[in-house]
Amino acid sequence: MTYLQALIIAIIEGLTEYLPISSTGHMMIATAVLGMEVTPFVKLFTIAIQLGAILSVVVLYFKRFFKSVNFYLKLIVAFIPSAIAGLLLGDWIDAQLENVFGVAVALFVGGIILLFVDNWFKAPVKTNEEEITNTNALKIGLFQCLALFPGVSRSASTIIGGLTQKLSRQAAAEFSFFLAVPTMFAATAKKLLDFYKEGISLSGEEIKLLAFGNAIAFVVALLAIKSFIGILNKYGFKGFGIYRILVGGTLIILFLMGVKIAAV
């Protein structure tokens, strides 16, 4: 991996992690387009740079993370379903990180769903995180399990999960941001542990690439989060749905035409 490739992937991660368009799916597409070999380090990089995006949430919502113990309890309850599913389906999930066609289908189908989300959930009754119960949190966590397949989007699934629990768009989005912290931290820790178990050590250059990628993802994610809340409140999900349909549909057509778009 070159620094230019790391820069491109980190920018994509920062831009897409908190948007309902799938950061993992976009990074997979990017690695394929860039002709990168899907090595163990590349897989680690695409997961580990999420730590930079995590830090952006902690910085932007610093006070929320020190408000109450109940806040953390709700995050733990919401995190448990995907943690269990991730442990049980770890090998399958890892294999899907090379399935670009699967990402295309997930983007397309998810885009269709986002076209109608604004009409499905018109009467929110909860406007902030404090009104979320543990039962609400658990149900949102179950929705997060859908995002274990690349291309679905963790952000989209958890925000929609929040909307089903009568949260406003902003409250659902912000809880999705908060839930990303334990989820991404656990995913990165597991991938590093897998590296250790396999006897793979990071070189000095690889450590520098990880630090570089995290720094870029942090800065870009800060800007993306601020912009996303404004766009979501003003325009809703339809634009993101159209974008997903265009990207996913284009990739599906290319595959049907026999154009190979896959990491090597």
pLDDT single digits (tens) 20-56: 888 888 888 888 888 888 788 888 888 889 889 889 9
Query: For residue range 68-104, what is the model confidence (pLDDT) as tens digits?
Result: 888 999 999 999 999 998 888 777 777 766 678 888 8
255 pLDDT above the threshold of 90: no
Mean pLDDT of the chain: 87
- Please give the model's pTM, rounded to 2 decimal places: 0.86
Q: Quick one: pLDDT at residue 264?
A: 36
- How crowded is the C-beta side of 116, counted as CA atoms within 13 Å? 5
Q: Residue 126: what are its φ and ψ, rounded to 5°?
A: -120, 120
The enclosing H or E element of 143 equals: helix 134-144
User: Which residues, listed in sequence order, are joined to residue 167 by a DSSP beta bridge?
Assistant: 126
Q: Quick one: pLDDT at residue 163?
A: 94
Q: Residue 167: what are its φ and ψ, rounded to 5°?
A: -80, 150
Cα separations (Å) of 261 from 95, 101, 164? Answer: 16, 8, 36
Q: Quick one: pLDDT at residue 263?
A: 46
Query: For residue range 185-224, what is the model confidence (pLDDT) as tens digits?
Result: 888 887 778 777 777 778 889 899 999 999 999 999 998 9
Q: Quick one: pLDDT at residue 244?
A: 93
Both tokens of 46, joined, read 């695409």
Q: Quick one: pLDDT at residue 260?
A: 67
Q: How confident is the model at residue 135 (pLDDT cuts 50, 70, 90)?
A: very high
Instruction: Check: CB of residue 81 under 8 Å from CB of residue 157.
Output: no
Residues 6+ positions from 2 with CB-CB distance below 8 Å:
none
In this prediction, residues 133-153 reach a mean pLDDT of 91
Q: Quick one: pLDDT at residue 40?
A: 82
Count CB neighbours of 43 within 10 A: 17
14 pLDDT above the threshold of 80: yes
64 pLDDT above the threshold of 90: no
User: Which residues, listed in sequence order, are joined to residue 126 by a DSSP beta bridge?
Assistant: 167
Q: Which residue carries 């269990």 as its tokens?
A: 84
Query: For residue range 109-122, what is the model confidence (pLDDT) as tens digits?
Result: 999 999 999 899 88
Cα separations (Å) of 60 from 20, 131, 149, 186, 221? Answer: 19, 20, 28, 21, 10
182 pLDDT above the threshold of 70: yes
| Nearest to 77, CA basis, from 158, 142, 130 | 142
